[in-house]
Amino acid sequence: MIPRADITNAVQPIASVDAPAAIVAVADAKQEAFSRLVQIAIGQQLQGKVLSTYNDGSYLVRIANTAARMVLPTATRAGDSLLLTMVSKDPRPTFLLTETIPGEEESSSVSLSAAGRKMEKELQTSTTGAERSATTVDGRNTLVPETDDKTPQTAPQSRQESAPATLSSAGKLIDAILHTADPNQASKAIESSTPLVNTPVNASQLASALHDTISFSGTFYESHVAAWAEGKRPLDLLLKEPQADLGRQAPISTADLLSSADQSHKQLAEIINIQLNTLEQHRILWHGEVWPGQQMEWEISQEPPDSQSRADQEDSATAAWHSVVKFELAHLGTVSASIRLVDKQIHMQVRTDNDNSARLLRRHGNQLADSMAAAGTSLDSLIVKHDGES
């Protein structure tokens, strides 16, 4: 006879199974870290901490309570403190390294944000993927919230002692200019000290004056110098720009801009600051008198590709430009006009601060279209609204 199996003793219940932990969304962590970095103001100084190194020679750095990958001098090691200045946000956050302070190696119990901890964990556990090289510019370091497949490692004991980073003359100049500029005037406008025209009668004369006030502002001086060197721009036009005028007054060197309190040097530093902001923000601001007693604010910007319509993007050579002017007029009140130019199509939207002015502008809208047609430009659409009207 086969003995009966004692099921109650032979079969044991399985151990309790805990619910699986939520999977970390690496993309969300990366986006959160990137958002933290782009919120830093241009010219703001921050302190960073080197957490670890990677196989490709880059570093994991804690900055703004998050973690990011950075290219640093080879003498840098884990535990060093960094003094960084934000100089650009596009296409990725870029910092100027102004000082490296040797320190103790960072312990494993680093206090990071949730996004930073997720990114660091992902970077430590990733062991596959293509190695990517990073580019170092004199005195600059590009920070990128990354989830690249690299294995961080602590700095080897045989590594040389960390030494303060040496900045190039260009790096020192940019740092000095960013510190000279008023942080509250990051988007300072080009200003005109004299009216552009004496009377608003001649439209072509006003258009030419508006063109010249931007062209001769010094914002595009370096590109104009390059055009002159290629024989595409006459010297007399180049000499009308403020950089040429300041250079004739007194020779200006990098050392002068870094140390001198001369007013002309400050003026040149302001121009360079406007150039940096124009390059960063892809827009130009102008403020001044268009004719005696009539102030105008003017903004010119190039629309990014993702904001253009599908039809606009089909032609890669087509660029969309956006221009906004704002006036305080004696009879119409506050009037602003938003003009969008795509290829040869012009779309305009006018806003006023009262309904009476809006009705008056609608009534005479045909006169604007006829005047533009007479000048050889068609007005494809015109919308007039008063503030508060959707």
pTM: 0.54
pLDDT confidence of residue 169: 64
Say which DSSP state 307 is in: G
Domains 26-101 and 318-389 share a fold: no
Domain boundaries, the chain: 26-101, 170-281, 318-389
Q: Which CATH architecture has domain 318-389?
A: 2-Layer Sandwich (3.30)
Kindly report the CATH class assigned to 26-101.
Answer: mainly beta
Residue 209 makes CB contacts below 8 A (sequence gap 6+) with 196, 197, 290
Between helix 26-38 and helix 114-125 the angle, nearest 10°, is 130
Q: Give CA–CA dist 315/262, Å, rounded.
A: 49
pLDDT confidence of residue 1: 46
Residuewise pLDDT in 10s, the chain (390 residues): 444 544 444 444 444 445 454 444 445 566 777 777 877 877 788 888 998 888 877 888 888 888 888 888 878 888 888 888 887 777 778 877 877 788 754 444 444 555 555 555 554 554 333 333 333 333 444 444 444 444 444 444 444 444 455 666 666 666 666 665 555 554 578 988 899 999 888 888 999 999 999 999 999 999 999 999 999 999 999 999 998 887 777 666 655 555 556 677 778 878 888 888 888 888 999 999 999 999 999 999 987 665 555 545 455 456 789 999 999 998 899 999 999 998 888 999 999 999 999 999 999 999 999 988 888 888 999 999 988 776
Give the helix, strand, coil percentages of the chain, each rounded to 5.
Answer: 35, 25, 40
Q: Give CA–CA dist 153/168, Å, rounded.
A: 29
